[in-house]
A and B are shown apart, each in its own frame.
Chain A
Amino acid sequence: MGKPPKKKNLADKVRKTKTSTEIKNNPFEVKINRKKFDILGRKSKHDVGLPGVSRSKAINKRKETLLKEYKTKDKANKFIDKRFGEYDTKMDPEEKILQRFSMERQRTQDKKDMYNLNEEEELTHYGQSLSEMEKLNDMVDSDDDADEKGVLSAELTASHFGGGGLLRKKTQGEKDNGGNQRAKSRQELIEELILKSKQEKRERQNQKEESQVLTEKLDQDWKSIQGLLAHKNAPKADRLEEEDKPKLDEYDMMVRELGFEMKAQPSEKMKTPEEVAREERERLQKLEADRLRRMMGDVVEDCTKTQAHMSADDLNDGFILDGDEKPTLAYQDGKWNINKEGAKIEGDEDEGGGEGESGEEESGGEEEEEGSGEDSHSDLDSEQESEGGEEEEEEEGEKDEVPATKSQLSEEERKAQAEAAKGELPYTFKAPESYSDLKGLLQGHPADHQCIILARTQKCNHPSLAVGNKLKLQKLFGFLLEYVGELASRSPPELSTIDKMITQLYGLCQLFPEAASKAMQTTLVDSAHRMEEILEVKGRAAFPQLDMLIYLKITALLFPTSDFRHPVTTPALLYISQALTKCPVMSLEDVTSGLVLCCLAVEYVSFSKRFCPELINFLLGVLHLAVQDKTSTGYSVVPPFRQNGKVSDLLVLSDPESSQTWSKKTLPLSATQTLTLTTDLDTDHYRLSAVATCMDLLKHCSSLYRELTSYSHIFQPITTLLSKHLPIKTYPAALQDLHGEILATISGSLTSRPLLVFQKKKPIPLKLFTPKIVEVLDYGKKRGNTKEEREKERLNHKYKKEFKGALREIRKDTRFLAREKLNEVMGRDAERKRKVKELFGSLATQEGEWKALKRRKNSRH
């Protein structure tokens, strides 16, 4: 019987015995964390602590969790107390007992229910207690419709019956709910009740409306079908009936029409033509300024600005505003004024109309069947009517126009033809998934149709219509590019088709600049790579094929060539340079290719007036081909040309007389691939044309590079060649004029040599002694500058804190467990001691008794 088995924890005792206010006022319980500084406006959470309380709380918590776990460690079975509310902490013990009692009673009652005529039993109707129902019915009915039929919602009854009784017995889950609700006050319950009933009412009403609408619709549908049925059965009678039917009241129709009519909305003020022109000019000026800025290359990265071509009103729907092509809808002299370009846009409109029509055809096909000859009576026809009206209007306009000019008449004819052709084409196209798809789509159609197909494909797969469309159209650009390349490499090349496709390419490029530039880059780099490989093997390469030339030209059309650095045009120029320096001229075809490349180079640099040495070198080389005596020249040509060799007489005329019959004409682009010149005269003419082209390009260059400092040195070999070596006397007059012109330009421009000095450096300012004032905008700790850094700092801090906390908790846990274990051991030891003592005690008494007995015996004896 030693000491009490367990010393009660002091903190626990305090917490148990005293109220919270008492503890808080006890200075021995309160620990105040001293603050070093008082900071205004800072709320500190931890200035006062109750260590005893929190410790006992922690210990209690551990007892409930950790200790239990420890106790059940290595024990597989689990004891679950299934008595009602055993684990429900929210219930009072008395309540629990009460509930259990009542449930017990009920269980016993139920069994004898049948024969029990006890008056305490309540009468029910539909499972509800009658007496209660009488009380509540009024309230519910008061704001409920008749279709409620007196059925009370479960919650309602539950709240009024105190959450129990007969109804509750079956559902175990709900019982807990009932228990929970018990905690709420009556006031709250009533409010909730009202809210719920209102909500229910609303829902019912909605449902009712919906069903009504559905019914109506069903009725209408039935009517339309009934009409058909009836029509078949008794056509005559029905017809009469129908004729009766449409005679609606005129007033009603008016009202409905007015009701459905769109409300007039405030629109923007119509812009006067001057305003429009001014805006257009401003836009162009801004774009031009942008271009210049990029050309200078000083603000290379300003990509935060939006796409240059987005106007504020742009809906990003692919509609491209081009001012000059926009037909202005206006009347002139009482007639409708249609621009020439209107044709194209009209085509678009027609397509739109066509699509709409086809859609209508599908939906209203039956009706057309029904009443094609009769006057339109269906309400759907009103739209058609308006459409038709428009068309009529258009037609009228066209008719009015017909006598105006003859040229427009031919335009009309063309349009009519196009119209007829379009009739054959389908209106929707699936976006091609591969290049062969596109080829299959376009093959076999004339150029115009191919364009229409492309336009329609583009429209049908507009990015705003579906999610995947953007990707599809981006791919389309690549395929189209490939197709253009194939067209160009056919023999003969179908350049006019390509010409028509430029608009499509431009449109797609405007929609997806990134994809377009990527596709273009890939094409260029692949070709350059191929050329490089050939160069490494053979040391020289053939001139690029026509498709590459076309690609280069398209690049110039789609992207600005004047930028200081541009992801597409800079590689393109490098490609031209590579071709001009590495491909030796072996034939007249090569001369033509080279001249095309020179033209492209001139076009590329024409705006920015950048210097391209390869261009001048090549032109010099081409002219050198036309020089007869190649021995003592005052200039030297640069590779790929040679001073003299077996192909260095390509452009020398075989017969000087042939220049008499020569007339200037443009060279065909297909001549870069195959050139069929049968007679010597043809060849000579071709040579003269090439020389003329070369001279024309030289003229361009000579005026282009006028401002360069080394102008005279750049053109010095060309001047020598032109003035001394070229057999200009044998050339036709036109060429002689050109020749004179170039020489005049070159000699006329006296380049002034500016001083070559370093730029003046900005003087380094003296050190100033006024303090530098930095405005502090946000107070408080500031670690790290960027958002990410701060976030990282914060997370690190949090992690550290959590880690420390976890460590502390774990330590406390182990300490707790150790203590428990010690307690256990101590308890066991004490128990054993006690038992041993007991045994000894009993033995001692036994012994004592025995001795006493013995003694007694002895004494007896």
Chain B
Amino acid sequence: MAASKRCNVSSENLTVNDVKTPKIDINGKVDLIIQSKKHANDVFDVLEYLQSEKEKNVVCAIDGCTKLFSTLLERGELYVGKLPKEELLIGGDRSADEKYCMFMRHRYNSCLELLLEHISHESYQIKESALCALMQFASMEGKFPLQDLDWSEHYSFPRELIQAVVERLLSQDEDMALLISRFQKYMDMEDVRYYVMSSVRDNVGRVMDKTKGVSPARTGNNVFTLLSNINMPSQESELTNYLVKQEGQPAEHKRTFERLWLGFLKYKLPSNMYKKVLVILHDSILPHISNPTLMIDFLTAAYDVGGAISLLALNGLFVLIHQHNLDYPDFYKKLYSLLEPSVFHVKYRARFFHLANLFLSSTHLPVYLVAAFAKRLSRLALTAPPAVLLMVLPFICNLIRRHPACRVLIHRPKACDDPYLMEEEDPSQCHALESSLWEIQTLQKHYHPDVATAAMVINKPLSQQEDAISELLELSTYELMERDLKHKQSKTVPLEFDPATQLLQGSGGVGVLGLNFSLE
């Protein structure tokens, strides 16, 4: 018994040793190298660990490297300036110190290369460690520049390093979303963001040129993730957070940001990317662009695409019209043509109707236009689900309230036929004002009690107060169902008095289901 126990213990010890050894080894070696120049050659061992298969070893090695080279950078033991070739080093007539610095600089460079490779590693942990190490090096390099400080620069920033990192991040082969979100922490710093933006611009330009304007999906995704993660500071005074101490020029930042986006959007995007961009456009792009009117081209193009993309472009256009005096010809005509049966079913329904409500809230609109909108909406309401109807009906009523001249739509003592032309694209030609909203009358027979009640409103003169539709915008069928159940329950539940004996029975014999389906 005792023997076996000891055996177990010893085997455990062995495994522990196995695991621990590399870590201790690396740490010891790093310490040795830092302590004296004699052990300089141990750096090869550390770099070897960096190429190891085991995830743990690699992570340890990355840590070790970070420590080692940070210290060396701090001490100034890395060669500064243009580095001669390794082969030349041996023969050169330099002092030993100088040689050592050069040697270390070479090792440092190869370490950087290895780390950059690791950014594309399969394991996320290694990716993350590598990224952190690189950024650490970047910050150290910023403080202790490896280039000669010449006359042209007041400060130095490891531009090449950042560019290399960005290039890796915008990989064409895999989705880097996770790592990019990790990278976001560094992008909070002003200078990093600035250089990242400029290097992304270069990179995108290069990739797009290579693929002839069609962006590969992966890269596109990565670029978009990176871009959408760029949080521009809302105020200029906030430029305080730097990786390397320096003075900032917020205007320059804005310009870079703008050029970056314009550069990205210039290329042909897949439609889902288009949608993603449009969703965040008004919120996180437009406010940070120095000259938002430059986006007009992009937005008008998007608005003309049709379908969901048009709906989404509406938001950006609204910002431009509202804040930047954009004059969009035939805007309402276009808006009118966006009203399709599918508009009630798409995901961005709430956003669209919110904006449409804003656009149509002006009391200076011509009556024919408002009437056309009301008529078209009510015609489309014949295909809408109940949750939408509960929003659309008050919407139409609000339109009529705002424009009392539209009252004829629901109150016309003269008899007439329906002259409305559904196919007509131009709201001024569709004769909506000569029609009536019979569709709403039809909806009074809707199966859902709330919808029927809402449609009943047109039977009486409308009240002055507008209905609030903001909380109805996002109503879903399930919420409607819940609302029904919360409804005050009457004491007794009415029951069917026809006794049921069969599954397929209907009112008076076999039901419709029974006629068409059998119990099999």
Contact = CB atoms under 8 A, between A and B. Distances in A.
B63 to A, nearest CB: 39
Interface residues of A, number: 108
B449 A666 contact: no
Secondary structure class of chain B's binding surface, majority of residues: loop
A674 to B, nearest CB: 12
Nearest to B505: A557
A39 interface: no
Contacts of B347: 539
B520 A571 contact: no
Contact of A513 (B383, B415, B477, B493): B493
A638 B490 contact: no
B516 A638 contact: no
B263 to A, nearest CB: 31
Contacts of A294: 494
Interface stretch (B205-213, B240-248, B287-295, B433-441): B433-441
Contacts of A439: none
Interface string B404-417: 00000111111111
A574 B413 contact: no
Contacts of B151: none
A616 B383 contact: yes
A758 B494 contact: no
Nearest to B347: A539
Contacts, number: 259
A315 interface: no
A609 interface: yes
Interface in B314-368: 340-342, 344-347
Contact of B490 (A521, A567, A599, A693): A567
Contact of B485 (A308, A309, A571, A573): A571
Interface in B431-456: 436-439, 441-443, 445-449, 452
Contact of B385 (A509, A553, A581, A599): A581
Contacts of A714: 382, 442
B489 interface: yes
B424 interface: no
A666 B517 contact: yes
A307 B477 contact: no
A577 B385 contact: yes
A325 B501 CA distance: 11
A650 interface: no
Contacts of B346: 639
Interface in A581-637: 581-582, 595-596, 599-600, 602-614, 616-617, 636
Contacts of B379: 713
A638 B342 contact: yes
Given A528-B478, A667-B517, A566 B494 contact: yes
B513 A531 contact: no
Given A567-B489, A581-B385, A604-B447, A611 B442 contact: yes
A756 B410 contact: yes
A294 B449 CA distance: 12
B492 A599 contact: no
A506 B499 contact: yes
A612 B438 CA distance: 16
B485 A567 contact: yes
Contacts of A600: 513
B481 interface: yes
B507 interface: yes
Contact of B520 (A570, A575, A670, A693): A670
Interface in B443-478: 443, 445-449, 452, 458-461, 476-478
Contact of A525 (B461, B485, B492, B506): B485
Interface string A739-783: 000000000000001111111010000000000000000000000
A389 interface: no
A563 B494 CA distance: 9
A503 B501 contact: yes
B2 interface: no
A505 to B, nearest CB: 8
Contacts of A325: 499
B512 interface: yes
Contacts of A574: 386, 448, 477, 480-481, 484
A612 B485 CA distance: 20
Best-surrounded residue of A554, A603, A605 (most CB of chain B within 10 A) = A603
B507 A606 contact: yes
Contacts of A610: 445-447, 452
Contacts of B504: 499, 553
A746 to B, nearest CB: 15
A758 B384 contact: no
Contacts of A755: 412-415, 436
A757 B412 contact: yes
A840 to B, nearest CB: 94
A753 B417 contact: yes
Given A581-B385, A640-B345, A696-B516, 9 more contacts: A297-B452, A513-B495, A557-B496, A574-B477, A599-B512, A610-B447, A714-B442, A753-B417, A753-B418
16 contacts: A291-B497, A492-B520, A521-B485, A532-B476, A553-B513, A559-B496, A563-B494, A573-B448, A574-B481, A577-B386, A609-B445, A611-B445, A639-B345, A666-B518, A753-B417, A756-B410
